[in-house]
Structure 1
Amino acid sequence: MTQESVPTTEELATAGVRLEIHGALARITLARPERHNAMTGRTWTALAHIGHTLSRSVRIVVIDGAGASFSSGIDLAMFDPAGGLPGEQSLLQRLLSESDDSATHASLDADIASYQAGYRWLRRPDIVSIAAVHGHAIGAGFQLALACDLRILAEDAQLSMREPALGLVPDLTGTKPLVELVGRSRAIELCLTARTISAREAHELRLAELVVPNAELDGAVTDLVDALLATPAGAARATKELLGQAGENSLEEQAAAERAAQIERLQAMAQRLPE
C-alpha cells in the first residue's frame, strides 16, 4: 500500500463513487444514478486513487452501477464551452482560454493520463476485476467494463462505443482490449458506427463471459467471486501474470516464463513445509 491516504467516503461521494471492502473483496459502485452514472474527471481520478491505496489483501474488485444503468459514459458537461461542471473548467474552455498551444497540449496530455490511471490498475496481476453490467454501458462506461478482466452482463445490458459519433476517440484504454477481444475489423465497425450491442451479441463477440437475467446478476457475481477466491492467491497472481504476457511472447519465451513461474511456486510451497 502506498503512503497516499485512502479516499474518504465524502471525497468519493463528490466524485460519484462508492467503495465497500469486505475482506478480500472490494466493490466499487458508480453512484450518480440521477445522471445514469455519467462520469467526470473527478470520477476517474477517484478510481485511480482507490487503485493507488487499495489494501494488498484485496484480491477481487467488482465494479457495478447504481440505478438503471452501469454508466452512460462521459458527462458531456466536460465539453461545454459555456460552462462545465461545478469546480471544474470544461476541456473546451481551457482550449479557448489558453494561448500557449504546447503548454495546453502538455496539460491535457497529463490530465488524460491521470484519467486513464483510473482504468489501468484494474489489470494488475494481484487482483481479478469484474464488471457487473446492467442497462447502458456507453463510451467511457463501455471502456470501464473493457478494463476489467471479466464481464458479467444482465440481459438488459446495452454497450456502445459512442466517442467517434461525438467527434472524439476512445481514450480510456478501451481500444486495445476491444481489438484483442473482437478483432480489428469488428472493432472498426463497432466504433465508427457507434451502434448499440445487445447482451446476447456481446456474448457472441466474446465481450462478456456470462449473460444472466437481471434478477440473477448479483448471484452470478457472488458465485464467480467465490470460485476465484478458492484458488490460492499466489497461484492466481502468477497465472494471471503468465496469461497477460502470452499474447506478446513467442512460444519459446512463454515456455521459459512458465518454467520460471513454476519454479517460484514450487519454492514457495517448499518454504511452507515443516522441516
Structure 2
Amino acid sequence: MAYQNLISELKDNILYITINREKALNALNKDTLAELADVVAFAGKTEEIRGVIITGAGEKAFVAGADIKEFSDYTGKQGEELARSGQDLVFNAIENSKKPFIAAVNGFALGGGLELAMACHIRIASENAKLGLPEVTLGLIPGYGGTQRLTQLVGKGKAIEMIITANMITAVEAEKIGLVNYVVLQTDLIGKAEEILNAIKQRAPLAVAAAIKSVIASINETDGYDTEIKEFGKCFETSDFKEGVTAFVEKRKAVFLGK
C-alpha cells in the first residue's frame, strides 16, 4: 500500500506501520490520520495479518503530537467533530481491533502520539522515550481518548497529575506506573515487539481476538463478564479449539488455522 505519510509493510504475518513525517516529529495531521484509518481497517480485514507494530520514523519521536496549525481557528463544533472522527476511525478502531497492536515508542510520545500508543494493546518504549499529554498548555484537553485511557492504565490520581501539569515522564517512570509494558534499548525496540507477536502467532487467532474483545469489554461495557462468557462459549465452536485439545492430548504442538 502506498501512502504519503506512512510506510506500510507486511512481512511474516506482521504489518509494520511507520509514521513517516520525521521532519515534523511525526505529528498527526489530517492526512496522516486518514491514512492511519485506512491501514487500520486494512489490518482488520486481512486474514494474513496476525499482528501490527506501529512506530515513528527516525530516533527522536514516535509521534510528538497533533498538527496544531490545522485546528488553531476551529469552532467548538469543529473541534468536537475532529475528536469524534479521529476516535471512531483510528483510536477506537485500533483498541477494538481483533488483531493485537503493539506501539514501539521510539522517542517523544506526546499528546495525540501518547493517545495513539495508549490505543494499542501493548506498549514498548525505548530508553530515550518521553511521554506526556501537554494539551492544557494550549488551553485544551486530550481529545483522542487520553483522559480515559490514561486513567485506565495508571489510575485516577496519576492521570490527573500528568494531564493538568502537562509534565512529561521518562520511559522508566512510564514502565513503573504501568503506562508501558517494557523499556528497551532503541536498537532492540522492534525486535522486542516482534518477539511478543511471534509468541502470539503461535496461539489460536480466534481465541486471541476473543481475549482482546473481552479485556476491552471490562473497561468499555456495562457487563464485561457477560462478554467474556459469550466469547468463551464461541471458542468451543471453532476448529482451533478442537485442534488445541487434540494436540494437548497427543502431546504435540498445535497448528492453528484461525477457523
1:221-246 C-alpha deviation (Å, 9 max, x unpaired) = 11111011111101111111222223
Q: Which residue of 2 aligns with 1:263?
A: 233
Give the distance between the partners of 1:261 and 1:227, measured in 2 at CA.
22
Q: Secondary structure at the match of 1:70?
A: strand
Matches within 5 A, 1:78-93: 78-79=70-71, 91-92=72-73
Aligned counterpart for 1:74 among listed residues 45, 66, 69: 66
Q: Percent identity?
A: 28
1:230-268 C-alpha deviation (Å, 9 max, x unpaired) = 111011111112222234556xx61x5444333322222
TM-score, structure 2 as length reference: 0.84
Q: Is the 8 A contact 1:18 1:30 kept in 2?
A: yes
Change (3 A) 1:111 1:193: closer
Structure 1, unmatched stretches of 5+, are 1-7, 80-90, 96-103
Greater C-alpha Rg: 1
Q: Is the 8 A contact 1:41 1:115 kept in 2?
A: no
RMSD: 2.3
Aligned counterpart for 1:36 among listed residues 1, 22, 25: 25
Q: Is the 8 A contact 2:235 2:241 kept in 1?
A: no
Matches within 5 A, 1:32-71: 32-54=21-43, 55-57=45-47, 58-67=49-58, 68-71=60-63
Shift of 1:70: 0.7
Give the distance between the partners of 1:47 and 1:240, measured in 2 at CA.
21
Q: Which moved more, 1:222-231 or 1:264-273?
A: 264-273
Aligned counterpart for 1:151 among listed residues 123, 126, 136: 123
TM-score, structure 1 as length reference: 0.79
Give the distance between the partners of 2:131 and 2:109, measured in 1 at CA.
5
Q: Which amino acid aligns with 1:211?
A: V
Report how many aligned residue pairs link the two structures: 239
Matches within 5 A, 1:93-242: 95=75, 105=77, 107-116=78-87, 117-242=89-214
Q: Which residue of 2 aligns with 1:4?
A: none
Give the distance between the partners of 1:108 and 1:135, measured in 2 at CA.
27
Change (3 A) 1:270 1:115: closer
1:179-208 C-alpha deviation (Å, 9 max, x unpaired) = 011111211110111111100100011001
Shift of 1:130: 0.5
Q: Is the 8 A contact 1:125 1:238 kept in 2?
A: no
Give the distance between the partners of 2:33 and 2:213, measured in 1 at CA.
25
Shift of 1:62: 0.8
1:82-111 C-alpha deviation (Å, 9 max, x unpaired) = xxxxxxxxx50x54xxxxxxxx72x54333
Give the distance between the partners of 1:72 and 1:259, measured in 2 at CA.
40
Q: Does 2:19 correspond to 1:19? A: no
Q: Which amino acid aligns with 1:207?
A: L
